[in-house]
Structure 1
Amino acid sequence: MRIRIAHYPSYCSKYNPIEHRVFPHITRACKGVPLESVEMAKHYIEKTETTKGLKVVVRIIDKVFETGRKYATDFKKNMAIQFDKFLPKWNYVAMPCTC
């Protein structure tokens, strides 16, 4: 299976169109509310909606993510990396080798 990887460079979330569309509405829904717990934040964020039909679904992930975790040992042997012409450091495709 081909895996497409596309990152926004560090500190460049301003280019993320999803953030521009949803975060102003989330900010409005939480305005003036002291968010004392994750559940309270979830409650107010879930109330976010617009007249155009935007609705926000919230899921709290309890999982603790490991830092410094590495890819599978045979990943590089089995997958070829093809870098994009535009921002190759941030955009690439991992494809199974046909070797």
Structure 2
Amino acid sequence: MVPYGVYDVGTNTGWVSVGVTADTAAFAVNSIRVWRQRMGLQRHPDMRELTITADCGGSNGARVRLWKVELQRLADETGLVLHVHHYPPGTSKWNRIEHRMFCHITQNWRGRPLSSRMAVVELIGATTTNAGLKVECALDDGLYEKGVKITNAEMDSLAIEGNAFHPEWNYTIKPRNLD
């Protein structure tokens, strides 16, 4: 089982998808997609842009081509402009999702048997704090293929623009269907 989370700083709410295959970029972006459908649009109905902070490694790493291709698909599907900011290598411990959400999830399930996928989903989804954090969770039973290769042509087709400050870690992806 693989968890992937979205933490909404403005509303102190979280979303976790629990995957059954592998932690791939397609799974990570689908988790963002499902967060938008199930939580994001309700809390931010006029959302036109989304800022994503991510670690520099793993499925959502700054050098992961599939991550960028999947984000482009999300931008194209939703019309959202996606601003992506990666934490520099070795600094992911400062990622708010770790300190404001996942630490409470692990405290919530401490000492409880994780005997099934649904037990994991229910324990994550029952996470709340006195400060108002509320986490929702669902099982993602999609099959996500590992080792997907992205061609240079696919990368060249992205509507991606690097920011002035460390463009390898900070970039914007715009929907290709917008003028």
For normalisation by structure 1, the TM-score amounts to 0.71
1:3 CA displacement? 3.9
- How many Å separate the matches in 1 of 2:105 and 2:98? 10
Q: Does 1:58 align with 2:137?
A: yes
Q: Give the direction of change, closer, same or farther, for the CA distance of 1:11–1:34 in structure 2 (3 Å limit).
A: farther
Q: Which residue in the other structure is 2:165 paired with?
A: 86
TM-aligned CA distance change 1:94 to 1:48, over 3 Å: closer
Determine whether 1:36 maps to 2:115: yes
User: Structure 1's 69 and 12: CA in aligned 2 closer, same or farther, altered over 3 A?
Assistant: farther
d(CA) in 1 for partners of 2:140, 2:89:
23
1:25 to 85, 88, 104: 104
Moved over 4 A (4+): none
Could you tell me how far 1:78 is from its partner in structure 2?
Answer: 6.7
Q: Give the number of the structure with larger relative contact order, counting CA–CA contacts within 8 Å between residues 6 or more apart.
A: 1
Aligned to 1:68: 148
Query: Where does the alignment leave 5 or more consecutive residues of structure 2 unmatched?
Result: 1-78
> Who wins on radius of gyration, i.e. which is larger?
1
Query: Please, what TM-score do these two structures have when normalized by structure 2?
Result: 0.44
Q: CA RMSD in A?
A: 2.8
The answer (yes or no) to whether the contact 2:108–2:123 under 8 Å persists in 1 is yes
Q: Secondary structure at the match of 1:26?
A: helix
Distance in 2 (CA, whole Å) between partners of 1:74 and 1:24 is: 37
**CA deviation after TM superposition for structure 1 residue 83, in Å:** 1.4
Partner of 1:13: 92
Identify the structure with the greater strand proportion.
2
For 1:7 and 1:26, the matched residues in 2 are separated by: 23
Contact 2:161/2:172, CA 8 A, preserved across alignment: yes
CA distance change for structure 1 residues 33 and 92 in 2, over 3 Å: closer, same or farther?
same
Identical residues among aligned pairs (%): 35
The total of aligned residue pairs comes to 95
Query: Residues 37, 68 of structure 1: CA spacing in aligned structure 2 closer, same or farther, 3 A cutoff?
Result: same
Whole-angstrom CA distance in 2 between matches of 1:33 and 1:78: 44
Unaligned runs of 5+ in 1: none
